[in-house]
């Protein structure tokens, strides 16, 4: 008996429950980071959110620069 194709795809990707659990774990980690920044610096949660997003932006920009410096020509293969 063959399984339907949709069950195979859901099984490989973690299914609906796995995605929900992963989403909640990410939200909790982000909330802990924002709360920590807010408590450490004594600012509101909104300001701490923007600081956190700024930190993520800097990390992404540095990663972009490093990728361009050390992996030139990788984009051409796509």
Domain assignment present for 32 = yes
User: Domain for residue 77, yes or no?
Assistant: no
Per-residue pLDDT tens over the stretch 17-62 = 888 888 899 999 999 999 999 999 999 999 999 999 999 999 999 9
Question: What per-residue confidence (pLDDT) applies to 17?
Answer: 87
Model-level pTM? 0.64
Q: How far is CA 42 from CA 13, 26, 38, 45, 74, in A?
A: 40, 24, 5, 9, 44
- Let me know if residue 56 belongs to a domain: yes
Question: Contact at 8 Å (CB) between 45 and 35?
Answer: yes
Contacts of 51 (CB under 8 A, 6+ apart): 37, 41, 43
Helix locations, the chain, DSSP H: 5-13, 15-41, 45-70
Total domain count, the chain: 1
Is the pLDDT reported for residue 10 higher than 60? no
């Amino acid at each position: 008996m063959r399984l339907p194709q949709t069950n195979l795809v859901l099984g490989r990707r973690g299914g609906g429950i796995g995605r929900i659990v992963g989403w909640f774990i990410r939200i909790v980690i982000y909330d802990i980071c924002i709360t920590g920044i807010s408590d450490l610096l004594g600012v509101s949660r909104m300001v701490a959110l923007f600081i956190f997003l700024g930190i993520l932006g800097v990390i992404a920009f540095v990663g972009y620069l490093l990728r361009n410096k050390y992996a030139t020509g990788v984009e051409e293969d796509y």
